[in-house]
Homo-oligomer: A and B are copies of this chain.
Amino acid sequence: MAANVLVVEDEPAILELIAVNLEQAGFHVLRASEAETALRLIGEALPDLVLIDWMLPGLSGIELVRRLRREERTRALPLILLTARGAEVDKVLGLEAGADDYVTKPFSPRELVARIRAVLRRRRPEVGEEVLEAGGLKLDPAARRVLAEGRVVALGPTEFRLLHFLMVHPERVHSRSQLLDRVWGDHVFVEERTVDVHVRRLRAALEPYGMAGLIQTVRGAGYRFSVQTAQEA
């Protein structure tokens, strides 16, 4: 496989120890001793996975995780946190910030490699997320980006999820409650009319590109994403 792994660790001895072990396991290793360097390296060549020490000079590890999760380009990047032993709080914080796994120090090289492989394996189906294309629209789930005729459409998180869901199930009417269940989540309670408002926002965002008609209202039933124009003489 020969995956690229970036290791971010400020203690030189530990950094080398990890790097050597990973290289021996067949990974290609990049090194960074602080968050800033890590960000630069990630920007230059997107690695397949990043191993981040919790405690870093300057930007802390968890802060780095947050930063990476915010950027669209690095949102799906597999991250593993290195934390001191027994720090239960850290684990929770780390996972909540968006890390995929954590490894407590001290760790055995074998365990570390196993975790890395597991995360890479787990991520695989996510990376293979299909790009959806219909009616001049292109939606890339991995990049969390929508293109209309090649131009980027600015969408809020909810609008994106809504469009995503509609494009996964096109040519099919979804009631407001179905949309609430599947786009908002069945545990959330919001007014059904809220769907209308987000549909409107989504249409407004698509309208400059002339593709507002893709989202159709079916009176008394719900909404539908459809390539078929409803026109007839």
User: Interface residues, chain A, CB within 8 Å of chain B?
Assistant: 55, 60, 62-63, 89, 91-93, 95-98, 101, 122, 124-126, 129, 140-145, 151-154, 156-157, 161, 164-165, 168-169, 171-173, 182, 185-186, 208, 218-221, 224, 226, 228-233
Nearest chain B CB to A60 CB, angstrom units:
5
The smallest C-beta distance from A179 to any residue of chain B, in angstroms, reads 12
Tell me how many chains of this kind the complex includes: 2
For the complex with contacts A143-B171, A154-B232, 7 further pairs of A-B residues with Cβ separation under 8 Å are A60-B125, A92-B161, A93-B129, A97-B168, A143-B226, A153-B232, A157-B219
B95 and A182 contacting across the interface, CB-CB below 8 Å: yes
Query: Are A96 and B221 in touch, CB under 8 angstroms?
Result: no
Q: Is the CB of B230 within 8 A of A154?
A: yes
Instruction: Report the Cα distance A169→B165, complex, angstroms.
Output: 25
CB–CB A232/B125 < 8 A: no
Q: Select A143's contact among B89, B161, B173, beta carbons within 8 Å.
A: B173
Instruction: Pick the residue among B125, B151, B221, B224 that contacts A63 (CB under 8 A).
Output: B125
Q: Which of B95, B125, B171, B220 contacts A157 (CB 8 A)?
A: B220
Instruction: Pick the residue among B63, B98, B168, B231 that contacts A96 (CB under 8 A).
Output: B168
Residues of B within 8 A of A231 (CB): 152
Cβ of A91: which chain B residues have Cβ within 8 Å of it?
185
- Sample 6 A-B pairs with CB under 8 A, ordered by A number: A55-B122, A60-B125, A63-B125, A96-B141, A97-B168, A152-B228
A231 and B92 CA atoms in complex are apart in Å by: 34
